[in-house]
Structure 1
Amino acid sequence: MALFSMLRRHTYSALALASRAVGSARTFHGAISTVPTFSGDHSPRSSFPTRRFSTATATATATEVIGNESLNGGLESAIKCAQERKIKIPEVPDEFPFEIIDIPGEKTILLKRQFQGETIQVGVDAPHVFPADEDSDEYENDDPGIPMVVSISKENGMQLEFGVTGFEEEVSIDSLSIVHPDHSPEQFPYDGPEFHELDEGLQNAFYKYLEPRGIQCSMTVFLTDYMRKKDNKEYLLWLKNLKGYIEQ
């Protein structure tokens, strides 16, 4: 789906290949280590290795238990902090024109609306902000900007895609591209110049084009609060999933 092409970058394939390579090497080494070897020494000492292995196994098991308990304690502490964090619960403004699609476990949300025969979709990512300290409701940067990808589709499938950052005082267009339905993934169409390289009058015209479609700074304050709340909710769910895995 072209909408999320600027928000999601699939880097996991390379990691998966690397993991398989490492896993294969370990399996091969393990297979070699299990092949029995024989020597001329048949003394009782060499024929009863089980005591030595059982001691090592017991030590490893004890270490594993201690490690699990330590990790569980750390996860419980992190869960408690996330549950106690005070984050403003946003109310959807009456004039907000979009339907919000928020799927649990997803990093982003999707906004959708129809406007004069166009389908407008906005992928919204979380602002990259951190609390000033664990006990504070204040943030290091009170207006970090909300990263968005705005897709405006015509009935014939043609799309305009804007990379946008929403601030409380303004909306900044960072990129612009045309998505043609007939273009295959193997094609590399001309995307035009960088947005900031366009004539200033043309840049201003695009800002005016987006405004009646709902892309304006008035949506930013609400989305900032919404995404901060979602980010903490997803973080808490992630911690609980981790804890559930360790306890299995």
Structure 2
Amino acid sequence: MSPASLAAWLLRRATASSSPLSALTRRCLYSSAPVPLPRCLPGAAAAASSSHWTAARRFLASQSSASSSSSKASADENLRRVIDSEIECVVQSEESTADKHIDLPDDFPFEVIDNPGDQSVTLKREFAGETIKAAVYTNFDTEEDLNEDDESDNDEESFKPAIQMVVTVKKPEGPILEFDCNFNDDELAIENMRMLNRDNPDAENAYEGPPFSVLDESLQKALHRYLEVRGIKHSLHDWLHEYMISKDEKEYVVWLKNMKEFIGN
């Protein structure tokens, strides 16, 4: 083998023998995966800890639920006791009219329509081909002072709740005449009146007439007389006051009982 051939052969051996090392070195440098850090707790310990916290959460939740249920039951029971006490107070009061029957006055011309649960009653009658209806309300926000001459007397008996009334007069055809009235202690006052379209009584922008107070005095008196002839007059005041007070107490007791039933369910 010539010196040149020997040199070439030695060079090829050196290159071949170094290749595996170089490949291994490259794999160690570039393809090594990160080594995961050891967990703080072994698997069994971690599972036990997780179970512990789950149980703790369930315990706290059950305690909160039990506390809420206890508070609800206590509040409900307290409300029922208060309602029972209020019902007993209203029914057994010496001034109570909740169980009192209010007789109609002699020659009372109206049918009384009193629907349970309604805050008003309706007086109705037929008169000379007309249908007269009066929806009667008790306004406890406005009270009449019955002892105006004695300014020092502020006893509760010196006040009466105001009686308000909306009266409609209908004929077989044509518009409807409607009055807003208040019962003062000494008179039936007409607050307003209007003419309504029978087919569309709630029509907006319809001309209803001027305010009652600006009408000519003779016209006001004639309209008062018009209502009196149809049975709407001041003599109804005392009976309506007694009847509406009794109705309010009855409705209040029913309302309390309904509330108690709702709380108990």
SS in 2 for 1:81: helix
Residue 100 of structure 1 is aligned with which of 105, 112, 119?
112
Residue 64 of structure 2 is aligned with which of 29, 43, 56?
56
Q: Does 1:68 align with 2:76?
A: yes
Write the deviation string for residues 177-201 of structure 1: whole angstroms up to 9, x where unpaired. 1111233745320122211111111
In the superposition, the TM-score normalised over structure 1's length comes to 0.75
Residue 221 of structure 1 is aligned with which of 212, 221, 238?
238
Equivalents in 2 of 1:84, 1:54: separation in Å?
45
Instruction: Map 1:207-246 onto structure 2 (within 5 A).
Output: 207-246=224-263
Q: Is the 8 A contact 1:166 1:216 kept in 2?
A: no
Residue 47 of structure 1 is aligned with which of 36, 44, 54?
54
Residue 150 of structure 1 is aligned with which of 167, 175, 185?
167
Q: Does 1:197 align with 2:214?
A: yes
SS in 1 for 2:199: coil
The alignment-based identity, stated in percent, is 36
- Aligned AA for 1:189? A
Q: Which runs of 5+ in 1 are unaligned?
A: 1-40, 131-137
Q: Is the 8 A contact 2:130 2:170 kept in 1?
A: yes
Alpha-carbon shift at residue 52 of structure 1 (Å): 1.2
- Aligned AA for 1:208? R
- Aligned AA for 1:220? H
In the superposition, the TM-score normalised over structure 2's length comes to 0.70
Equivalents in 2 of 1:163, 1:55: separation in Å?
60
Q: Is the 8 A contact 1:165 1:174 kept in 2?
A: yes
Quote the residue 1:24 is aligned against: none
Equivalents in 1 of 2:245, 2:67: separation in Å?
44
Residue 132 of structure 2 is aligned with which of 89, 101, 120?
120
- Aligned AA for 2:52? R
Quote the residue 2:196 is aligned against: 179
Instruction: Map 1:29-40 onto structure 2 (within 5 A).
Output: none
CA RMSD of aligned residues (A): 2.2
Write the deviation string for residues 117-141 of structure 1: whole angstroms up to 9, x where unpaired. 10000000124279xxxxxxx8444
Q: Is the 8 A contact 1:168 1:221 kept in 2?
A: no
Structure 1 125/207 Cα, relative in aligned 2: closer, same or farther at 3 Å? same
Write the deviation string for residues 107-160 of structure 1: whole angstroms up to 9, x where unpaired. 110110011110000000124279xxxxxxx84444443100000001105211
Quote the residue 1:83 is aligned against: 91
Equivalents in 2 of 1:211, 1:186: separation in Å?
29
Write the deviation string for residues 194-215 of structure 1: whole angstroms up to 9, x where unpaired. 1111111111111011111001
Q: Which runs of 5+ in 2 are unaligned?
A: 1-46, 144-154
- Aligned AA for 1:167? N
Equivalents in 1 of 2:163, 2:238: separation in Å?
9
SS in 1 for 2:140: coil
Structure 1 64/144 Cα, relative in aligned 2: closer, same or farther at 3 Å? closer
SS in 1 for 2:138: coil
Q: Is the 8 A contact 1:158 1:178 kept in 2?
A: yes
Q: Is the 8 A contact 2:176 2:196 kept in 1?
A: yes
- Aligned AA for 1:245? F
Equivalents in 1 of 2:50, 2:197: separation in Å?
78
